[in-house]
């Protein structure tokens, strides 16, 4: 049975109790292999609908959540930004939503723009952009286009499981390689090795760099936090193979969650060093918008004994709030706890010889593509 309510979630001012409406959690069997516990309506919806058992055994017939993929008929593929605290001004997202199901994903709230839930909908109702390579070629060919590194994987993972079927990311790389255009890739999937041939060729011309997120070395914690992403050992192996092939690679210890995985900072960096990688960065956990409630639900379900402590420490890194979106602070936080995390990361990097050089890409090879349907210039 479904209850329709105009009531929104109660304020999450008390760290001693999880946010969310009573009965919002979806039965475990229906969400097996998924990251979040609920599927509450997004912030733009006037009503919230919650499935609950009214005693007539009405929930028994509800099927498990299955992954569905819908075509996204976008007209532009390069997204621009003017954020002062990130190193790129343009990016590409071949997909919307992400089957990896990472509970901490800061991109979850973007599903609300589609009228869907940032919860289970985000990891089960996916959208693909099959014409992304053609759009990219057209946009790179525009007379006023000025080349600069394009970031891929900044919102949702380009190498999530459905990429095996659709291959959109590989086709995008083919366009970029042909045009001599630089790209920076962020992923937590070993599927990136499928494109090692292209990445190796691009690396020889300083056209690519790849970052792989290593959140934890504990496979059990990884499966709980990011249920359909590659295991920690496979990510480390991917880093080793990328580095061995001469592809500029780095590790992202991200996100760092106080009292959950922050104790692993040094061990993760040591494992990355053993893989032959000498560049790394980190990001503190971010909880914007609906993600705040989703993370609280997940935490109380999986780590009830740590719930109050984790939330307390998170707030201490965000000026007493669940999240501070201020540029310059949103990635690293503020206060003593955030300072200690940052300092530990810096000391470990210094000891291991990390970040002594910068990974540079170039635009000197760029040649404006000429789409097949484009008419030749008269002069």
> 324 with 285: CB under 8 angstroms?
no
Burial class, 201, CB count within 10 angstroms (exposed 0-12 / middle 13-18 / buried 19+): middle
- State yes or no: pLDDT of 26 exceeds 90: no
d(CA 205, CA 270): 29
d(CA 345, CA 103): 23
d(CA 286, CA 106): 6
- Which of the residue ranges 39-53, 158-172, 218-232, 258-272 would you say has the lowest mean pLDDT? 39-53
Residue 17, pLDDT score: 44
Looking at residues 294-323, what average pLDDT do you find?
Answer: 96
Nearest to 361 by CA among 160, 83, 147, 191: 147
Per residue in 110-159, pLDDT (tens digit) is 999 999 999 999 999 999 999 999 999 999 999 999 999 999 998 899 99
Q: Predicted confidence band at 372 (pLDDT cuts at 50, 70, 90)?
A: low
Residue 46, pLDDT score: 85
- State yes or no: pLDDT of 16 exceeds 50: no
d(CA 262, CA 256): 6
In angstroms and rounded to an integer, the radius of gyration of the C-alpha atoms of the chain is 22
Length of the chain: 379
Helix (H) or strand (E) run with residue 222 in it: helix 219-225
Output the DSSP codes for 325-372. Answer: --TTTTTT--SHHHHHHHHHHHHHHHHHTTTSS------TT------T
Q: What structural domains does the chain harbor?
A: 2-352 (3.20.20.70)
Looking at residues 52-64, what average pLDDT do you find?
Answer: 67
Residues linked to residue 209 through DSSP beta bridges, in sequence order:
184
Write phi, then psi, for 64 (nearest 5 degrees): -65, 160
Q: Predicted confidence band at 322 (pLDDT cuts at 50, 70, 90)?
A: very high
Residue 199, pLDDT score: 98
d(CA 194, CA 161): 12
Per residue in 102-118, pLDDT (tens digit) is 999 999 999 999 999 99
d(CA 228, CA 69): 16
Residue 3, pLDDT score: 46
Looking at residues 46-67, what average pLDDT do you find?
Answer: 72
CA dist list (Å): 293 to 12, 300, 323: 8, 11, 12
Looking at residues 304-317, what average pLDDT do you find?
Answer: 97
Q: Predicted confidence band at 371 (pLDDT cuts at 50, 70, 90)?
A: low
Q: Predicted confidence band at 56 (pLDDT cuts at 50, 70, 90)?
A: low
- State yes or no: pLDDT of 58 exceeds 80: no
Output the DSSP codes for 98-126. Answer: -TT--TT-TTGGGGGGGTS-TTHHHHHEE
- Which of the residue ranges 14-28, 167-181, 259-273 would you say has the lowest mean pLDDT? 14-28
Residue 42, pLDDT score: 87
Question: Which tokens go with 218?
Answer: 């504990």
- State yes or no: pLDDT of 373 exceeds 80: no
Question: Which tokens go with 136?
Answer: 């990219």
Mean pLDDT rounded to a whole number for the chain: 90
């Amino acid at each position: 049975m479904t209850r329709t309510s105009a009531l929104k979630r109660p304020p999450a001012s008390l760290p001693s109790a999880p946010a969310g409406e009573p009965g919002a959690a979806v039965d475990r069997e229906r969400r097996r292999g998924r990251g979040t516990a609920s599927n509450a309506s997004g912030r733009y919806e006037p009503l919230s609908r919650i499935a609950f058992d009214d005693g007539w055994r009405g929930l028994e017939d509800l099927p498990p959540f299955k992954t569905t993929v819908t075509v996204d008929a976008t007209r532009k593929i390069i997204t621009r930004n003017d954020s002062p605290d990130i190193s790129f001004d343009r990016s590409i997202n071949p997909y919307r939503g992400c089957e990896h199901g990472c509970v901490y994903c800061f991109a979850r709230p973007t599903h609300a723009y589609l009228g869907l839930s940032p919860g289970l909908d985000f990891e089960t109702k996916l959208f693909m952009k099959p014409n992304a390579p053609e759009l990219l070629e057209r946009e790179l060919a525009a007379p006023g286009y000025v080349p600069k590194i394009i970031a891929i994987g900044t919102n949702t993972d380009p190498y999530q499981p459905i990429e095996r079927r659709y291959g959109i990311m590989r086709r995008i790389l083919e366009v970029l390689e042909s045009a001599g255009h630089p790209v920076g890739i962020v992923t937590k999937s070993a599927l990136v090795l499928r494109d090692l041939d292209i990445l190796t060729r691009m690396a020889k011309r300083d056209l690519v760099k790849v970052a792989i997120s290593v959140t934890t070395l504990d496979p059990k914690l990884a499966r709980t936090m990011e249920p359909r992403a590659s295991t920690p050992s496979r990510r480390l192996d991917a880093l080793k193979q990328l580095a061995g092939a001469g592809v500029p690679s780095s590790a992202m210890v991200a996100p760092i969650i106080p009292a959950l995985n922050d104790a692993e900072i040094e061990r993760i960096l040591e494992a990355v060093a053993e893989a032959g990688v000498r560049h790394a960065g980190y990001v503190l956990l971010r909880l914007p918008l609906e993600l705040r409630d989703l993370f609280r639900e997940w935490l109380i379900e999986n780590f009830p004994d740590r719930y109050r402590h984790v939330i307390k420490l998170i707030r201490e890194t965000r000026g007493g709030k669940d999240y501070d979106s201020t540029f310059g602070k949103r990635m690293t936080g503020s206060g003593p706890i955030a300072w200690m995390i940052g300092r530990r990361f810096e000391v470990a990097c210094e000891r291991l010889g990390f970040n002594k050089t910068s990974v540079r890409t170039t635009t000197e090879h760029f040649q404006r593509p000429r789409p097949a349907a484009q008419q030749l210039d008269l002069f």
